A = this chain, B = another copy of it.
Amino acid sequence: MKNDDSSTATLYEVASAAGVSPATVSRFLNGTAKVSDDKRKTIERVIDELNYKPNRLAQSLKMGSTRTIGVLTQSLESGYFSQAMIGIEDAVKQAGYALLIMSGHWHADEEAERVELLIGRRVDGVAILSGKLSDGQIQGYSQRVPIVAFGRKLEGERLMGFCLDNYRGACDAVDHLVEQGHRRIAFIMGPEDHEDAQARLAGYRDTLARHKITPDPALIVPGDFQESGGLLAVNQLLATNQRFTAIFASNDLSAYGARLALYRSNIRVPDDISIIGFDDLHSSMYTTPPLTTVRQPLYEVGKGIGRMMLAMLGQKQAEVEIPQLGLMVRESVRRIA
């Protein structure tokens, strides 16, 4: 006597209980072919008597598709990547795809290992969110599985990639500051080996130059894309008595840290010093004051990634539009004489 509470029934059991062949049950389940009304009835009845649920593993093995897309993110706790993942999920969910998420922690070796894991689990495609993998490595993986990479300008048979224009975003930020009358603008860098961080630095430099402002090297301080780095950066600026009226933090997290450092020194934002960030994390809307920043439309990016993936998987056609950066003017920047 079987207790079918936990052990799930199989297609065979359904078939024999319904007095038909497994093939018929399968056809009924997938609508692959017509099934006579009487058989259909009994099959339906048996199915929910036995509480039958198809085994997706077996299906996957047979059909060569897991309906899973692997996501290589860098960190689960980053609000930045989370938005993109939500976008991906929203885009592929309806098509019956689930996400298998793994984090690479900005470490090429770990990322490579995770991608291998993903491929080993036979995901139908993998979405790579930034990271340190080389273009070559990614191209290599794309021989084995369709890939869409965010943060790379890559193109291939089974490979799509796109970037947001970080350089341009940084230019916009600095332009905004200059328009508001700032000329002595400090810059909190991101990690040296981070492409986006470099692009933002370049944007900062070039825009200053375009406005005939000579960049003061002492105003460019190291950071690490974390709050702590921003805090230290500003402390360094303060300790060395630099003169500046505004800070361009290369990401919002750094801006938060910077803001706290200023707070600790009783310097008001934006009254005494203006701050502009980059990313537009959700929480930047609620900092005090709300942070003016360059918006990265990560959710849309995620949707785009999901759609591209679906397209490569032969699911959809709709052209995917690449979202753009934009300046979010809030309250952390003040116009000065």
Contacts of A180 in B (CB 8 A): none
Q: Is A153 an interface residue (CB 8 A)?
A: no
Q: Provide the bound-state CA to CA distance between A16 and B68, in Å.
A: 31
Bound-complex Cα distance A259 to B290 (A): 11
Stoichiometry (number of copies): 2
Interface size on A, residues (CB 8 A): 50
Cβ contact within 8 Å between A89 and B76: yes
A117 touches B98 (CB 8 A): yes
CB contacts (< 8 Å) of A58 on chain B: these are 61
A100 to B227, CA, bound (A): 30
Contact, CB under 8 Å: B57 / A282: no
Q: Is A319 an interface residue (CB 8 A)?
A: no
A121 at the binding interface (Cβ < 8 Å)? yes
B99 touches A101 (CB 8 A): yes
Partner of A259, one of B68, B256, B288: B288
A282 x B77 contact (CB < 8 A): yes
Q: Which B residues are in CB contact (< 8 Å) with A227? A: 283, 285-286
Q: Does A315 contact B (CB under 8 A)?
A: no
Interface residues in A130-178 by Cβ distance below 8 A to B read 143-144
A21 at interface, CB cutoff 8 A: no
Q: How far is the CA of A83 from the CA of B290 in the complex (A)?
A: 25
